[in-house]
Amino acid sequence: MLKVENVNKSFGGLTAVAGVSLDLADNQVTGLVGPNGSGKSTLFHIITGFYRADSGWVLFRDKPIQDLPPAAISRLGLIRTFQQTRVLPFLSVRDNLLAVAPDQLGENILPVFFRPRAIGRQERDNRRRAGEVLQLMKLDHLADRPAEELSYGQERLLELGRVLMCRPKLVLLDEPTSGVNPTLIRQIVQLIRKLQVEGMRFFLVEHNMPLVAELCERVLVMDAGRLIFDGAPEAAQRDPAVIEAYLGKNREAS
Ligand code: ADP
Ligand code: MG
């Protein structure tokens, strides 16, 4: 489904991603872990078009996407969330969802004059989808409240909801549970499970290893820009290189 081939990215003298290659099958939830600064978010930025790789290729469903802008990549069905949430505080929860609905014909002036019926249909479709997503997120009771009233965890849910509006095939989640309370974490886990059963695929950065083991059939580990492990989560936790990557970081910090 997603192929990354020999991707490199430096910032000045610092190599953030070094020769990373990976191949995600189309039937799995895959985790990406590694110490802080190991290049996980940068890799996600590159895959989703927010950063350009210095070299290498990214293929989504066999189509090269490394030169496409984020909007074109999301139209292909590959969408991400950010480590920092990006909801619009003054819009209602529902309008936050509608604001990202795909292909808004009404935004272009010509169809407003020539295709009013198509726009009406699309608006109804988007409203229906927003209703479904609100239910999935268990945020329907807050649909008309301004997003700024949400708790931090609910904001993270809403951000995931914005992604789901576009019915993606593969979702990249950057630390979806960081700062989220245990109840909402369970809700996010159940949601990922349910969407997985419905055919959506996930690639997620997550620090909580028990959660990675619970959700992911496969985990990739990065350290200093390189991929140092690819396999089952249980094996990752026993792998000497992985252990050293984490311990080494702790030694530097102390
Ligand atoms: P992770 O998500 O694994 O914590 P990042 O991908 O955010 O790591 O960062 C990898 C390295 O690249 C870090 O050393 C970070 O400081 C650096 N980096 C990331 N983004 C930028 C940027 N826009 N400009 C300069 N350095 C960056
Ligand atoms: Mg990060």
Mean confidence (pLDDT) of the chain: 88
State the ligand closest to the CA atom of 175: 2
Query: Residue 115: its pLDDT value, please?
Result: 63
- Same topology between domain 12-79+177-254 and domain 83-167: yes
CA of 238 to the centre of ligand 2 (A): 23
Helix (H) or strand (E) holding 214: helix 209-215
**Exposed, middle or buried, 20 (CB in 10 Å: 0-12/13-18/19+)?**
buried
pTM of the model: 0.88
Q: Mean pLDDT over residues 46-60, rounded?
A: 97
Residue 114, pLDDT above cutoff 80: no
Tens-digit pLDDT profile for residues 91-110:
999 999 998 866 655 555 55
- Ligand 1, atom 19: closest residue by C-alpha: 42
- % of the chain surpassing 90 pLDDT: 59
Q: How far apart are CA 22 and CA 3, in angstroms?
A: 6
Task: Indicate the pLDDT class of residue 212, thresholds 50, 70 and 90.
Answer: very high
- Ligand 1, atom 16: closest residue by C-alpha: 37
Q: How far apart are CA 212 and CA 221, in angstroms?
A: 12
Quote the CATH superfamily of domain 83-167.
P-loop containing nucleotide triphosphate hydrolases (3.40.50.300)
Query: Residue 104: its pLDDT value, please?
Result: 56
Residue 168, pLDDT above cutoff 70: yes
- Domain extents in the chain: 12-79+177-254, 83-167
Task: Indicate the pLDDT class of residue 125, thresholds 50, 70 and 90.
Answer: confident
CA of 11 to the centre of ligand 1 (A): 8
Residue 157, pLDDT above cutoff 70: yes
Residue 122, pLDDT above cutoff 80: no
Instruction: Pick from 7, 8, 11 the residue to mutate for probing ligand 1's pocket: most ligand atoms within 8 Å of its CB.
Output: 11
Domain over 12-79+177-254 is classified CATH 3.40.50.300? yes
**Could you give the C-alpha distances from 71 to 16, 80, 111, 134, 159, in angstroms and in order?**
24, 11, 21, 23, 17
Q: Mean pLDDT over residues 57-74, rounded?
A: 95
- Ligand 1, atom 20: closest residue by C-alpha: 42
- Ligand 1, atom 17: closest residue by C-alpha: 16
Task: Indicate the pLDDT class of residue 118, thresholds 50, 70 and 90.
Answer: low
Q: How far apart are CA 243 and CA 254, in angstroms?
A: 17
Residue 21, pLDDT above cutoff 60: yes
Query: Residue 167: its pLDDT value, please?
Result: 86
Query: Residue 198: its pLDDT value, please?
Result: 85
